[in-house]
């Protein structure tokens, strides 16, 4: 007589806990959506010069890091107060176009890369910047929020007849 023993209560509890944890992580990721949605919302908030909307998309902590064309800002408050708010406040018109947005996540951490064109218009004229960027996002209260952003503008081609690259020789 081969009698099957019922599984141990501890094993069943472990299996049930693992299933529930997996379901909770899956539903949290689904509720958060795609990290690319946050990147698109960031571009829209910047273009409309909506600082309140922009604030809702970022982690508010000292670990925030922003690099734009070799200039570093550390901490959300520093970036907002010394870079973002003054820049947005000086613009009368702006566009922020995204192309080739690619994002991934592991359930708690997300990352995205994208190509961009930003045009800023203000009292001192217009400026257009094209470049590539990468962002790191954290799942924060069910939403993807930016914790690191690196934007790098493309170099403009050297003008013909210029001494670019010759170092004055």
Number of domains making up the chain: 1
What average pLDDT is seen over the chain?
81
CATH for 15: 3.10.450.50
In a domain, 1, yes or no: no
Cα 125 from chain centroid?
A: 28
Residue 99 has pLDDT above 60, yes or no: yes
Read off the pLDDT of each residue in 103-111 and give the average, rounded to a whole number.
94
Q: What is d(CA 148, CA 138) in angstroms, rounded to the nearest whole number?
A: 9
Contacts of 131 (CB under 8 A, 6+ apart): 115, 116, 151, 152, 153, 154
Write down the pLDDT at residue 158.
67
In a domain, 128, yes or no: yes
Condensed to tens digits (0 to 9), the pLDDT of residues 110-135 reads 999 999 999 999 888 898 999 999 99
Q: What is the pTM of this model?
A: 0.72
Q: Greater confidence, 7 or 11?
A: 7
Range of the domain at 47: 9-153
The secondary structure of residue 159, as a DSSP letter, is: P
In a domain, 97, yes or no: yes
In a domain, 57, yes or no: yes
């Amino acid at each position: 007589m081969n009698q099957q023993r019922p599984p141990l209560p501890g094993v069943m509890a472990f299996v049930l806990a693992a299933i529930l944890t997996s379901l909770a992580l899956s539903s949290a990721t689904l509720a958060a959506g795609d990290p690319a949605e946050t990147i698109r919302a960031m571009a829209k908030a910047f273009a409309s010069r909506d600082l309140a909307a922009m604030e809702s998309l970022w982690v508010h902590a000292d670990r925030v890091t922003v690099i734009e064309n070799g200039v570093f800002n550390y901490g959300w408050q520093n970036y907002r107060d010394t870079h973002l708010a003054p820049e947005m406040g000086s613009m009368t018109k702006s566009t922020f176009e995204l192309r080739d947005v690619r994002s991934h996540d592991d359930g708690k951490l997300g990352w995205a890369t994208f190509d961009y064109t930003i045009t800023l218009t203000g009292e001192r004229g217009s400026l257009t910047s094209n470049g590539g960027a990468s962002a790191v996002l954290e799942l924060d209260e069910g939403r993807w929020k930016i914790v690191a952003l690196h934007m790098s503008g493309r170099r403009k081609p050297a003008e013909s007849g210029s001494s670019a690259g010759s170092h004055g020789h």
